Structure 1
């Protein structure tokens, strides 16, 4: 699959006349709990030639789209963000983008862009928005999958991961790691809960797809308690950050000059 992805990235560069700066795996494979039928979720950041930016029509309007989305098939979901779109989202402390920067499955990286972007992360870190992103993800997935007496057990991971990410932010005041195992080992100290989660993780990685099964009370109790507690914690935060736009403008211009 890696060769297919590399070939696809080359085709995208040629077809759209862009340069890809960074391409990684996202989703369950990057999080560390893929299913046997998980597809590959490839995400990338790209840049156009200078003349594309030097025009009267702004990017993101009309024909000047700021995303590239390839048709999704059963194996591969691949899409990318134009660099200025990515940097605007970075300015907002966008959690999915920050997860891309932490993915351990890197398909392509060229130029100094990503390392320079990472060096500016402290200027954009804003725990309020990140906490609400992960907390809302947990709450929505909980309502959809885990409220009955019988649940699809593998869906616990889509509630546990954002809960643990919130607790990491609370504990360290920094962007959480992308890997579920690292979050679990650091954040969960209660042995019964950790054992139940590790047992589910082993089953999932072994290809056990989990039909509907009785809910696991120790996990449900933890999730419900933490969602309520983290909601109150998020409300208590009062953090402000300086506007990083000048630094991000400089990064964009430097990258454009380096690439072209």
Structure 2
């Protein structure tokens, strides 16, 4: 894929070597607005002296604001922290790792993606249920309500359902809806991508979306109950070996 060179510049200016940098957020989810910022996510490698010495390095690097005319929200974690998050029921890091919108990659990125399959468990359903509940509260809090949090509700519920059934991490709502076939999703996406003036819903729509939220939440809970995914993540030993190799290569 061809990306704006200014995104590559942000990666090149990172203070530490990167294993990978990908695009997350609305661009990954399939509904970026004209004014959407670019959510850059990735893994950096702290210098060995910061790992073994008394002066710690930055486990997490964050950078946000307007840079070269682009609104950027960049967050990277040191390899050890990111690997630990992979072994927990954290859907965010798996989505970032497996994002097809790749700004920077390395052979170690490919190795890590191969290990991601073993990190998927049935308990990732709790991550998506919790995120959907938070976004639903945000949606209901506004008057009139914004489309954005509602799209996030549908995106995470469908991602969770798909993950429980297939073991595959899919974060793009357009792709997810090819299977789910929810007829209202294209219109909601069109509202979100059409700009702020189209980004709100009429109150009359609330009862319908309340029913859909409850229906899909129940569907995710059922998918969790019937999932054949493992109870716990695997691959910790392989990640440890990869981390040691990465550190010693410095």
Indicate the residue corresponding to 2:210 in structure 1: 220
Tell me, yes or no, if the aligned pair for 1:151 and 1:212 is still in contact at 8 Å.
Answer: yes
Tell me, yes or no, if the aligned pair for 1:146 and 1:215 is still in contact at 8 Å.
Answer: no
How many aligned residue pairs are there? 242
Residues 144-167 of structure 1 show CA distances to partners (whole Å, capped at 9, x for unaligned) of: 213789532343201100110121
Indicate the residue corresponding to 2:82 in structure 1: 86
> Pairwise CA RMSD of aligned residues?
2.7
Tell me, yes or no, if the aligned pair for 1:153 and 1:210 is still in contact at 8 Å.
Answer: yes
Structure 2 counterparts to residues 1-260 of structure 1, below 5 A: 2-13=4-15, 18-55=16-53, 57=54, 63-73=56-66, 75-110=71-106, 112-128=107-123, 130-146=124-140, 150-172=144-166, 174-186=167-179, 188-189=180-181, 194-207=182-195, 209-216=198-205, 217-231=207-221, 234=224, 239-241=230-232, 244-258=235-249, 260=250
Could you tell me how far apart the structure 1 residues matched to 2:192 and 2:142 are? 21
Quick one: structure 1 residues 80 and 214, their matched pair in 2 at CA, closer, same or farther if it must change by over 3 Å? same
Quick one: structure 1 residues 148 and 257, their matched pair in 2 at CA, closer, same or farther if it must change by over 3 Å? closer
Could you tell me how far apart the structure 2 residues matched to 1:253 and 1:215 are? 57
Tell me, yes or no, if the aligned pair for 1:66 and 1:85 is still in contact at 8 Å.
Answer: yes
Tell me, yes or no, if the aligned pair for 1:20 and 1:46 is still in contact at 8 Å.
Answer: yes
Where do 5+ consecutive residues of structure 1 fail to align?
none
Could you tell me how far apart the structure 1 residues matched to 2:174 and 2:244 are? 38
Could you tell me how far apart the structure 1 residues matched to 2:104 and 2:18 are? 8
SS in 2 for 1:6: helix
User: What displacement does 1:109 show?
Assistant: 1.1
Tell me, yes or no, if the aligned pair for 1:66 and 1:82 is still in contact at 8 Å.
Answer: yes
Residues 204-224 of structure 1 show CA distances to partners (whole Å, capped at 9, x for unaligned) of: 223353234234344432211
Tell me, yes or no, if the aligned pair for 1:153 and 1:213 is still in contact at 8 Å.
Answer: no
Tell me, yes or no, if the aligned pair for 2:147 and 2:192 is still in contact at 8 Å.
Answer: no
- TM value normalised by structure 2: 0.84
- TM value normalised by structure 1: 0.81
Could you tell me how far apart the structure 2 residues matched to 1:146 and 1:70 are? 30
